[in-house]
Every structure is written in C-alpha cells, then in structure tokens.
Amino acid sequence: MPNAHVIGLGKSGIAAARLLKRQGWEVTLSDRSSAASPEQPRLEREEITVKVGYSWHPDADGSTQLVVVSPGVPWDIPALVAAREQGIETIGEMELAWRNLQSCPWVVITGTNGKTTTTALIAAIFQTAGWNAPACGNIGYAACELALESAKPLDWVVAEISSYQIESSSSIAPRIGVWTTFTPDHLSRHYTLENYYNIKARLLRQSELQVFNGDDAYLREVGANWQDAYWTSVKGKAHLIGNTQGTYIEDGWVVFQGDRIVPVSALRMVGEHNHQNLLMSVAAARLAGIDKEAIAQAIANFPGVPHRLEHICTVAGVDFINDSKATNYDAAQVGLSAVASPVILIAGGEAKAGDDTSWLQTIQEKAAAVLLIGDAAPTFAQRLKTVGYSKYEIVETMERAVSRSAELAPQTNARVVLLSPACASFDQFQNFEQRGDRFRELCLALV
C-alpha cells in the first residue's frame, strides 16, 4: 500500500487524509503543534495515524511517496524543499481536490481583498439558479470535503483560493477565473510583489475565461497582458479595458455586455468596493449561463458575509460593525471608507508589512477616535502621532475597546463603531473569525 503524509491537522488536512485513505493510501497526518484535535480518536479508528508535536522531514522517513500540505503551511519550508529535491510528489490540499473533482466545472476566485464576499455572492447566485454549487477553499467547505461528499453530484465548484493554495496546486485549470484586487500582502511569505503577482497570474492563465476588476490600479496597469479577459468597472463602459466585453454600472444598473441585469440598489451591502464585487459576480454568473431572474433574486436575498462590514447592532443610534476580516491596511482602508462618519475605529493585532499611507489619511478624514489593541498598538500609536493624529488611546484588549467605544460614542457624536483591525489576529486570537465573534458578543452585551 502506498504511503502518504498530510501536514496540518486543520479542516483541510483532515479532509485530505480521509480522501487519501478512501483511495487506498496508508496515511499519516501530522502537525507541529502539540495541541490534540477532537477528531483524533475518530481518525485513529479510521486507521489514519495522527502525530502531534511532530515536524515531518523526508530524511527521517524514507517511505513516503506523496506529501499533501494544508493551506497554512509555507511552500518553501526545508522539509518540502528537500522532498521535492528527492522526487517525492508534494502537493496542496486544493490540488488533491482538483484531481478528484476536475470532471465538474470550477469557478475560482483569487485576489488580495474582496475574495470572500465575491465567492459567497457567486455561490449564492449559482445555488439560486438551482445548481449544487457549494463554496469551498477559504470559506465554506475544505475542497477535499466536497470530494468526500458524494451524496449529490456537483454542478459547479465555487472555490476561494489564496496565493498559498495556488502555489501548491500546479494543475488547477478552472472554467472561470476571477481576480478581485492586487495589493502588497503576504510579502513575508512571497518576498517580492512580482513573485506574488506571478503566482496569481498562473491560475488566471490556466482559466478558460477570466474576469478582472478593472478599477484596481495594479490590474489596470497590466491590463494589456489580458486583452481577452472580461473586465469590470463601477465607473461605466468608458473605463473598461480591452475589447469592452465587460460588466459595468450605468444609470444605477449592472450591465453585462450591453444587457441590463440588476439594479445596483438590490445589493444590501455598503461601499463601492462591494459594487465591484457585485460586477465580478454577475460576470461569472452570466459566463456560466445563469439567467437574469436567478441573479436578481440571489442578490436581493444576499445577507452579506460575517466579519466583512457585518452590522452587529445599533445602540443609542450608533451602529456597531464587525470588519474583523480586514487583516491588512488596504482592506481596513476600504472598510473605513465604506461606513458613515464620524467613526470610532478599533484597530490593531499582529501587524503586517505594507503601505499604511491611504489608511492613515482615511483615519484623519473620518475617525473621531482610534482605540488600539494587541501587539501593534504602540507602533500604530507612533504612526498616528507621526501624521499629526492625536485622538488615539491604547486600550490593549477587545473588552476594553468595546466598553470604551460605548463611552466615547455620545461624547464624539460618532455614528459608527468599527472593528477593522488592519492586522492579523494571532497575537490574541486563533483567527480573524474568533476575533470578530468576540467583538460581536461584547457588542450584543451592550444592547
């Protein structure tokens, strides 16, 4: 029996291990963290070996023929580099899913920001059209879970894919590829902007049809390389790139190739960036052959995405909004731009590299106060001070941030309290979802 080793004991790794086991592999699943998984006893009953507090390396294990990595595992760690040098096949969990599901058409969404909303909206439209088209990847199911779940045949796979997953998935060739935005992010992993761009571009080149955000400055700059793509613009037809076979807004309507599809006002989410997400979603739906009625119905019923400008509650006329998914400066700037001012902003966490200029400028324009939490608080305080903004307080924890925001809101006439951290969450929380859930709990306790 051939041997496979799966690295990463999260949802993706567990699904990959089960899929390989079903296909007749002898499977070991390991994680360098020593925390046990609640799934461990069940996995061991399924004859999948689980090793926690263990870092796999080919030199210590001569029997492995296939290595599958979870999305969070860096592609260039020494063990994986050594495995590839020794000719051991090394792939990502998404690649394994593709190999098992490629008989079904895929629509794949990538980009720095906007992926999750666009993926959720596309999945909602496809499902309203009556298709079995679950969202997977970074939202919804792990992709390998779909390959395991064969109760009802899939019509489409709707996958949100990060640069990490593209890097480890060389053969994915979707029917439709969507590129939402492109700004510096994950440079601690990809090192250069060019490298980061090339990883995403490879996925789009392997897509039969391509949809691009034509309002993204970087993507517009490289537009000449993608003449056959379907471009979008919230600014109207005149702003489309290439052969104008695009999707745009005209007189308050989303127009696809000259055909009015749905009024922009049907979407309940705030912010121009969400109009852009709407355009890309409509383009993907029309390219997949979905009729206008299903598109309009899905958009009218779409509630938005948790942790992305999610309205939690209104207390004494102040809206509390959860934008925990804004884990970099660009996403946080977009979130801050989308809400009514004056705003009390809660920001901080584990800082990332990036250009904070636009974010700081929007704070100066819109924020009545900034409450800083987490490891980044002293650095952010210094940056705010440097640009001459003084209405910040270091409050350290989410608990203090929410209670302080409730005190400050009436004093500053703030209309919104916004959690939009511009940071990863790993200093105080396991992930951005846990951070947003805690914010939600604290806000609802104020009601």
Count of structural domains within the chain: 3
Q: Which of 87, 120, 136 represents a domain boundary (last residue)?
A: 87
CATH number where 339 lies? 3.90.190.20
Residue type for 134, please?
P
pTM: 0.83
Residues 40 and 142 in one domain: no
* Contacts of residue 170, Cβ cutoff 8 Å, sequence gap at least 6: 91, 95
Hey, what are 356's tokens? 């904070």
User: Does 116 carry a binding-site annotation?
Assistant: yes
CATH number where 27 lies? 3.40.50.720
Residues 114 and 250 in one domain: yes
* Contacts of residue 88, Cβ cutoff 8 Å, sequence gap at least 6: 58, 64, 65, 66, 67
Residues 79 and 104 in one domain: no
Written as tens digits, the pLDDT of the chain (447 aa) is: 899 999 999 999 999 999 999 999 999 999 998 888 889 999 999 999 999 999 999 999 889 999 999 988 888 899 999 999 999 999 999 999 999 999 999 999 999 888 889 999 999 999 999 999 999 998 889 999 999 986 789 999 999 998 889 999 999 999 999 999 997 654 455 457 888 899 999 999 999 999 999 999 989 988 888 988 999 999 999 988 876 679 999 999 999 999 999 999 999 887 888 999 999 999 999 999 999 999 999 999 998 888 988 889 999 999 999 999 999 998 899 899 989 999 999 999 999 888 999 999 999 999 999 999 999 999 999 999 999 999 999 999 999 999 999 999 999 999 999 999 999 998 999 899 999 999 999 999 998
Residues 12 and 38 in one domain: yes
Residues 363 and 274 in one domain: no
User: Does 258 carry a binding-site annotation?
Assistant: no
What phi and psi, each to the nearest 5 degrees, are found at residue 33? -70, 145
User: Does 352 carry a binding-site annotation?
Assistant: no
Residues 56 and 173 in one domain: no
CATH number where 134 lies? 3.40.1190.10
CA gap 320, 310 in Å, rounded: 9
- The predicted-structure confidence for 360-416, as pLDDT tens digits, reads as follows 999 999 999 999 999 999 999 999 999 999 999 999 999 999 999 999 999 999 999
User: Does 115 carry a binding-site annotation?
Assistant: yes
- The predicted-structure confidence for 147-177, as pLDDT tens digits, reads as follows 998 678 999 999 999 888 999 999 999 999 9
Q: Identify the H or E element spanning 313.
A: strand 310-315
Residues 73 and 124 in one domain: no
Residues 148 and 260 in one domain: yes
Instruction: Give the angle subtended at the CA of 115 by the CAs of 370 and 129, to the nearest 5°.
Output: 130
Determine contact, residues 215/280, Cβ cutoff 8 Å: no
Residues 104 and 211 in one domain: yes
Print the domain residue range for 44: 3-87
Q: Find tokens 């203090």 and name the residue.
A: 400
Angle between helices 329-338 and 272-287 (to 10 degrees): 100
User: Does 138 carry a binding-site annotation?
Assistant: no
- The predicted-structure confidence for 404-442, as pLDDT tens digits, reads as follows 999 999 999 999 999 999 999 989 998 999 999 999 999
b/e for 68-77, b at 16 or more Cβ within 10 A? Answer: bbbbebebeb
CA gap 209, 177 in Å, rounded: 6
Q: Which of 40, 59, 87 represents a domain boundary (last residue)?
A: 87
Residues 123 and 167 in one domain: yes
Residues 147 and 14 in one domain: no
User: Does 113 carry a binding-site annotation?
Assistant: yes
Q: Which of 255, 278, 301 represents a domain boundary (last residue)?
A: 301
Residues 218 and 252 in one domain: yes
* Contacts of residue 269, Cβ cutoff 8 Å, sequence gap at least 6: 117, 277, 302, 304, 309
